[in-house]
Structure 1
Amino acid sequence: MRKILFLLMIITIACMAGVTLKSCKKVDIKETTTTDVNMLDYLKQDTLKRFSLLIDIVNRTGYDAFLNAYGTYTLFAPTDDAINSYLKSIGKSSLDQLTVDQMKDIIRFHMLEEIVSTADFNDGKLPSVTMYGQFLVTGVSNKDGISSFVVNRQALVKQANIIVGNGIIQVVDAVLTPTTYTLAQLAAQNPDYSVFTEALKGTGYYDTLNSMKYANGSQRWLTLIAETNKALADSGFHNYAELKAKYCNTGDPKNPKDSLHLYVAYHILDNVKYLADIVMSGSHQTLAPLEVVTDKMINKKVLLNDDEYSTIDGTVHEPGVELEQAGSDVSATNGVLHKALGHLKIKVRNPFPVYWDLCAEVPELTRLTAVYKKKTYLFDYGDGNTLKDVKWEKSCLKYRAGVTGYLGDYWQMGLGTKGSNTDNLGDCAGNTWIEFTTPLLVKGKYKVWFTYFTQNTSKIIAVQGSFDSIPLNSALIQFHAKISTIDPLKEAEQEALGWKWWAGAAKKSGSTAARMLGIVDVKVTGRHKIRFDLVSGSNSDCNFDMVHFIPVGMNQTVPRFNPDGSIEY
């Protein structure tokens, strides 16, 4: 930490002295520098005298030595005005009317044991709990055209990123107050959740949500998606009796196999997930075994189980349930509560075939209207996050248009050697792996087919496919290999050998090959990872076109796909 501060001091001094340093002009985050004093000394030396009450609290609690000790801390420092307002709000006239333990709690709730600058703030929880043991949430407030960082929906950051010897200080205009309610108590005290609370009690989950610790003594963190009475009434459930009559199929709601028990479990997520955490992932495991909720954000609305399926006949949209943002992100002592505006029942999802075009599902590509399906393009590696759902080892990744693949395009990569210099756009260095995030897959068993177009048949190469880090062992991909010359009328024999044609009749040839990589048992509905690793050999033109996930027992050889987008059955 002191090395970092020393470097910042050198840069600051150099800038002040007029030394030509390019970095002096490119720093975006403005930070208040100090003479390397620690937190308590900085508070005492504040020229505006804003922290006399906070200093008094520190001294009364015996935390004065701690705030000046070496470490890497973040202090959200309330001003005197903030503390006076807080005292008034709780009916106190001075600090003398607070106990030492109450003052200790104030300090502990305003401190983290790691450095968190405003660059780390987002619309969600901070990366670690406070020393009090609860999360703080941050966001941005805009009032009269002025944007400010807001902490816990309680305080604005008035001065940010004050670097001191043992961490960083964020000055806030209000005292942050921790919640005193468990998730169960939050639901029970809100009359809008009275029916849902009865369901919590009837199934035994009220006790789970009222507990702070697991049996082993570790902290319990859960996320509750609570349905309002209106949401239930709109679906025909005006009271708990009607809800129980609909779902309870064993007569015992506390039976883990009972449908009412599972319905309530479906509303509880493991770990603490604020809205920002929810929208960062496509699906979330619930306490209902092997059942997930999916999520997305549309027009600034957070929606659960709002799903779209790409089928042969087009896209199917199943509307979801909105989480009201104003009523969500309510912190509890053991997690966070969200307010559902609709009836969220366990979604019955049956496995269906997914014919996944690896290019068409990448929004960073498809929104490039001058490129997509029109011309070859090189995506820079950047920091490795150029494409959200496609990762590769290094260098660039080539998109090829106007080719034989489905929709007339595919990804092309040099494995074990650099890629071809198509259209004189430049070279992409050779890679040894590439990984894709799948579309939503419903839990079930699937045969996995990889489709490609053969080039450079003299370049012997072998590539291992894996699904969620588990190798697909039916076959390796050999990009140089064409499909077997078996009589095309005997496609069942080809399939038995792990091959099929994927292209339509006009393009049906040995080069349009699909290899059956293996069978996967998708345990959890959601998006997964499929990865391709070089095993041996090299080929500058490995073409990644489609992946077919076809449920076991369904026809595996049709339909077939044409470059113009037409599909043959």
Structure 2
Amino acid sequence: MNTTVYHKLACRLAALLMLPALLFVASCKEDLDEDNLYTFTGETIESYLANRPDSFSNFNYILKRAGMDKILSAYGTYTCFAPTNEAVMAYIDSLYADTSCKIEHNGMTAPGLEGLSDSLCNDIAKFHLAASEVMAINMQNGMTIRTMLGRDVNTSIDSVSGRTVVNAYSLITKMDNEMENGVIHIVDNVLRRSNLLVTGEMSNHPDLFTIWKAAIDLTGLEDSLLDVERKTTVPSNAATYKFYCPEKAVLGYTIFAETDSVLKKHGINDINDLIAYANRVYEHCADPGTGWYDYYRNKGVKVSTGDDYRSPYNCLNMFLRYHIAKLRVPYNKLVTSYNEVSGVPLYDYWETMLP
């Protein structure tokens, strides 16, 4: 058979075979229930906020001062926790009226929006934004979200209302407002951020960590928990092979700290009781032949029960360092519900500051 004729016949046959499928698709399209389809309004996150000044003009003012309005007008995928006008004003008033802050009025020059500094606008704006889309279903079991400020926010479920709360304070009143470039969750309070380091946060809760804070002070371990970042070394061949190298590494720490009430249940009522407890646990841990802590035992380390609490071989110092990991572990990373198998115990291992 002539090749050209063969090709023509093959094409006609293929067209005939495809015709029923095309007719079927067309008939299916007629039966679609459009009531269940979400229709995008064509709004970006920025235009959504700008088009509703009665609700979001204050937050949008802050976004514009920080230059984030342009980013939220462009193509991308973002999550925005948008506080209402009332929430923004309540927060700003609290900043200006705060008499306990180290910087007068927290750096504000006057009451109201115009009194905010550029740095405050930048911090507030970026702490309410994430460079990825996080939907309500992702937050059901609690999760940690990295914001564009470089700090995390945590979600949880309010035990009373059953609704999602961010940082245990800001209730999401309306979730999953899908935009062309991401999603908006409306919150009833500005997300509160802290400039405190981990040990400073302990000082903020004297009703919980009096004993632990006293132990941190005695051992001087706070000095080991101050670094928040370090510069990285870029390999000399990075430019040649065109691979990305971050200029800095973000550092973090996790303290598994018993509260005063937990310690008191075990007869530890003050710092002296904690010292005595640490001595009992660690005094003989590195004894030759019988010690259970083989890392120190094999190195011939002599553990001390003396009062040089800054020594890494002191019992109190060892006790505290066993509770501290040199990495930041958000709560949702401690549980692996998405990977659980019924009846199978799951384990994870964290290396602490005690070798």
TM range (shorter): 0.5 to 0.7
Quote the residue 2:101 is aligned against.
Answer: none
Taking the aligned partners of 1:228 and 1:212, their CA distance within structure 2 comes to 25
Which residue, out of 116, 137, 145, partners 1:98?
116
Residue 245 of structure 1 deviates from its aligned partner by 4.0
Quote the residue 2:177 is aligned against.
Answer: 162
Quote the residue 1:231 is aligned against.
Answer: 262
Q: 1:34, 1:162 within 8 Å by CA — same for their partners in 2?
A: no
Residues 523-544 of structure 1, C-alpha deviation per residue, up to 9 Å, x if partnerless?
xxxxxxxxxxxxxxxxxxxxxx
Residues 422-443 of structure 1, C-alpha deviation per residue, up to 9 Å, x if partnerless?
xxxxxxxxxxxxxxxxxxxxxx
- Where in structure 2 are the equivalents of 1:28-47 lying within 5 Å? 33-46=39-52
Taking the aligned partners of 1:103 and 1:215, their CA distance within structure 2 comes to 27
Report the CA distance shift for 1:49/1:215 in structure 2 as closer, same or farther (over 3 A).
closer
Report the CA distance shift for 1:215/1:240 in structure 2 as closer, same or farther (over 3 A).
farther
Q: 2:325, 2:353 within 8 Å by CA — same for their partners in 1?
A: no
Taking the aligned partners of 1:45 and 1:227, their CA distance within structure 2 comes to 49
- Where in structure 2 are the equivalents of 1:318-337 lying within 5 Å? none
Residue 68 of structure 1 deviates from its aligned partner by 0.9
Which residue, out of 318, 323, 335, partners 1:267?
323
SS in structure 2 of the partner of residue 185 of structure 1: helix
Report the CA distance shift for 1:214/1:253 in structure 2 as closer, same or farther (over 3 A).
farther
Quote the residue 1:57 is aligned against.
Answer: 62
Taking the aligned partners of 1:256 and 1:193, their CA distance within structure 2 comes to 22
SS in structure 1 of the partner of residue 257 of structure 2: strand
SS in structure 2 of the partner of residue 199 of structure 1: helix
Quote the residue 1:180 is aligned against.
Answer: 195
Report the CA distance shift for 1:214/1:226 in structure 2 as closer, same or farther (over 3 A).
farther
Report the CA distance shift for 1:287/1:156 in structure 2 as closer, same or farther (over 3 A).
same
Quote the residue 2:252 is aligned against.
Answer: 221
SS in structure 1 of the partner of residue 71 of structure 2: helix
Report the CA distance shift for 1:221/1:23 in structure 2 as closer, same or farther (over 3 A).
farther
Q: 2:142, 2:157 within 8 Å by CA — same for their partners in 1?
A: no
Report the CA distance shift for 1:264/1:33 in structure 2 as closer, same or farther (over 3 A).
farther
Cα RMSD (Å): 2.9
Which residue, out of 61, 78, 85, partners 1:80?
85
Taking the aligned partners of 1:76 and 1:43, their CA distance within structure 2 comes to 11
Residues 428-481 of structure 1, C-alpha deviation per residue, up to 9 Å, x if partnerless?
xxxxxxxxxxxxxxxxxxxxxxxxxxxxxxxxxxxxxxxxxxxxxxxxxxxxxx
Taking the aligned partners of 2:158 and 2:313, their CA distance within structure 1 comes to 45
Taking the aligned partners of 1:263 and 1:22, their CA distance within structure 2 comes to 63
Q: Runs of 5+ in structure 2 lacking a partner?
A: 1-28, 98-109, 233-247, 280-302, 337-345
Quote the residue 1:114 is aligned against.
Answer: 132
Structure 1, 236-245 or 153-162: larger mean CA deviation: 236-245
Report the CA distance shift for 1:159/1:243 in structure 2 as closer, same or farther (over 3 A).
closer
Counting helix residues as a fraction of each chain, which structure ranks higher? 2
Taking the aligned partners of 2:79 and 2:115, their CA distance within structure 1 comes to 27
Report the CA distance shift for 1:193/1:104 in structure 2 as closer, same or farther (over 3 A).
same
SS in structure 1 of the partner of residue 328 of structure 2: coil
TM-score, normalized by length of structure 2? Answer: 0.66
Q: Does 1:196 align with 2:261?
A: no
Counting strand residues as a fraction of each chain, which structure ranks higher? 1
Q: 2:129, 2:148 within 8 Å by CA — same for their partners in 1?
A: yes
Which residue, out of 60, 70, 73, partners 1:68?
73
Q: 1:75, 1:112 within 8 Å by CA — same for their partners in 2?
A: yes
Report the CA distance shift for 1:64/1:23 in structure 2 as closer, same or farther (over 3 A).
closer
Residues 459-504 of structure 1, C-alpha deviation per residue, up to 9 Å, x if partnerless?
xxxxxxxxxxxxxxxxxxxxxxxxxxxxxxxxxxxxxxxxxxxxxx
Quote the residue 2:142 is aligned against.
Answer: 124
Taking the aligned partners of 2:332 and 2:39, their CA distance within structure 1 comes to 31
- Where in structure 2 are the equivalents of 1:449-488 lying within 5 Å? none
Q: 1:69, 1:166 within 8 Å by CA — same for their partners in 2?
A: yes
Taking the aligned partners of 1:130 and 1:149, their CA distance within structure 2 comes to 17
SS in structure 2 of the partner of residue 115 of structure 1: coil
Structure 1, 177-186 or 206-215: larger mean CA deviation: 206-215
Q: 2:324, 2:352 within 8 Å by CA — same for their partners in 1?
A: yes
Quote the residue 1:368 is aligned against.
Answer: none
Which residue, out of 189, 206, 218, partners 2:222?
206
Taking the aligned partners of 1:210 and 1:259, their CA distance within structure 2 comes to 23
Taking the aligned partners of 1:225 and 1:173, their CA distance within structure 2 comes to 31
Q: Which structure would you say has the larger RCO, counting Cα contacts within 8 Å and 6 or more residues apart?
A: 2
Taking the aligned partners of 2:119 and 2:155, their CA distance within structure 1 comes to 26
Quote the residue 1:324 is aligned against.
Answer: none
Identity %: 27
Q: 1:232, 1:238 within 8 Å by CA — same for their partners in 2?
A: yes
Q: 1:129, 1:135 within 8 Å by CA — same for their partners in 2?
A: yes
Residue 123 of structure 1 deviates from its aligned partner by 4.2
Taking the aligned partners of 1:254 and 1:22, their CA distance within structure 2 comes to 70
TM-score, normalized by length of structure 1? Answer: 0.42
SS in structure 1 of the partner of residue 123 of structure 2: helix
Residues 18-56 of structure 1, C-alpha deviation per residue, up to 9 Å, x if partnerless?
94237976x8xxxx753332221121223x731111222
Report the CA distance shift for 1:165/1:154 in structure 2 as closer, same or farther (over 3 A).
same
Taking the aligned partners of 1:199 and 1:237, their CA distance within structure 2 comes to 12
Taking the aligned partners of 1:260 and 1:19, their CA distance within structure 2 comes to 74
SS in structure 1 of the partner of residue 210 of structure 2: helix
